[in-house]
Structure 1
């Protein structure tokens, strides 16, 4: 059970990171080659980050096959840990209250995604 949970959480993390990197690349290209301003993308990227975490939780829950809420929670906690370590070790800043609230929302969204993913699980996982 623990091995399956960990491997499914890694699949979820990988999915989240691929989606976030793709969104970052697309938004940076749009900002560079169009007249769009960075302020226009703030809410779009904020919403997309929640969608990416939901999809990661969904994939994680589907791959685990059981206890999707736990797989989704593990995925979002690992994602939060990665973000925290990059921010703390790379930029010497911890999380503020707003970031803790956002990452708490990530946990909720990933848990919901994991519960849906484990119940929609099919042969594609």
Structure 2
């Protein structure tokens, strides 16, 4: 008896693209949760700055994890690259949407995203999902 073939065979081969995609997915989930917290509690918008940096750090960590797991080697450097790429994409979209200026928060976002991406990459490369471990 032959097994049924999978219906969708779509898989992103590039570790960079898959890491950025998962970062954006976790950013969207974090944004929805933060919006629900703002709506359902007495939290003011001025109190959301630490939450926003936490969401960006978590999203960058997840992206670094996925990309390093797919790559199978150089975990911290791949995660660092994902974190910086993610932060630059967020900053570009923020600049285009709201015409933000350069503040110390931008440097803080770049640092948090880079460090969290590198940490996620170190964790992801050791989970055994890459090409080097499948041989």
TM-score when scaled to structure 1?
0.78
Q: What is the aligned partner in structure 1 of residue 3 from structure 2?
A: none
| Alignment match of 2:68 (pick from 61, 67, 78) | 61
Q: What is the aligned partner in structure 2 of residue 3 from structure 1?
A: none
Residue ranges of structure 2 left out of the alignment (5+ in a row): 1-12, 131-135
Residue ranges of structure 1 left out of the alignment (5+ in a row): 1-5
Pairwise CA distance, 1:47: 2.1
Q: What is the aligned partner in structure 2 of residue 29 from structure 1?
A: 36
Pair member with larger Rg: 2
Pairwise CA distance, 1:111: 1.1
In the aligned structure 2, how far is the partner of 1:121 from the partner of 1:49?
Answer: 25
Secondary structure of the corresponding residue to residue 54 of structure 2: helix
Q: Which has the higher helix share?
A: 1
Q: What is the aligned partner in structure 2 of residue 111 from structure 1?
A: 118
Deviations 1:13-41 (A, max 9, x none): 11111111111112212322444433454
In the aligned structure 1, how far is the partner of 2:83 from the partner of 2:102?
Answer: 15
Structure 1 moving runs of 4+ over 4 Å: none
Q: What is the aligned partner in structure 2 of residue 82 from structure 1?
A: 89
